[in-house]
Structure 1
Amino acid sequence: MIKSINTEKYQNFLIWLKAGRLAKGLSVRELAIIIDEPFQFISKIETGQRKLNIHEYVQYCKALNLDHVEGLELFIMS
């Protein structure tokens, strides 16, 4: 089992999450406020320094109005 978050698949997934935030016109700090986390949490996720667990992923998607299934499909298919 590959546990690295430095794979191309995971990097593409992170690009998708960041694009979702930018499409909503939100800064890292603004998204952090919405999901009630420190801004460093968002920054570390988007730069690949921290993994998202499934619960955090769903909250992240809800905050950005992203389809969590689409994100998983992107991850699986890339």
Structure 2
Amino acid sequence: MTSTLHDANYRAFVTHLAALRTRLGVTQTDLAQRLGKPQSFVSKMERFERRIDPEEFRTIAVALGADPALEFTTVVSQIQRN
């Protein structure tokens, strides 16, 4: 069975969060501090070495000051277009 870390749809969610973080000018260290996690948590997530679950997606979006539902919907729309 293939790991979901390599699934294109899963990667779209992580790539979206990483792009959002960058667009907002938030560093990996800043985000990690907001989450109460080490910087390596964010790095491993963005390099697809660590899987995030839906609750972590929500928590990360909130930590970035974004609406998790809107961000989720945006990614789903992108996946559907592809």
- TM-score range relative to shorter protein: 0.7 to 0.9
CA–CA separation in structure 2 for the residues paired with 1:23 and 1:41:
19
* Amino acid across the alignment from 2:21: R
Going by fraction, where is helix more abundant, 1 or 2?
Answer: 2
- After superposing on structure 2, the runs of 4+ consecutive aligned residues of structure 1 that deviate more than 6 Å are none
**Paired residues for 1:1-78 under 5 Å:** 4-73=4-73, 74-75=75-76, 78=79
In structure 2, runs of 5+ residues without a counterpart are: none
TM-score by length of 2: 0.78
| Kept after mapping to 2: 8 A contact 1:10/1:75 | no
CA–CA separation in structure 2 for the residues paired with 1:77 and 1:27:
24
Q: How big is the alpha-carbon RMSD for the aligned residues of Structure 1 and Structure 2?
A: 2.2
In structure 1, runs of 5+ residues without a counterpart are: none
Aligned residues: 78
Aligned to 1:5, what secondary structure does the other structure show? Answer: helix
CA–CA separation in structure 2 for the residues paired with 1:31 and 1:77:
24
How far apart are 1:72 and its partner, in Å? 3.0
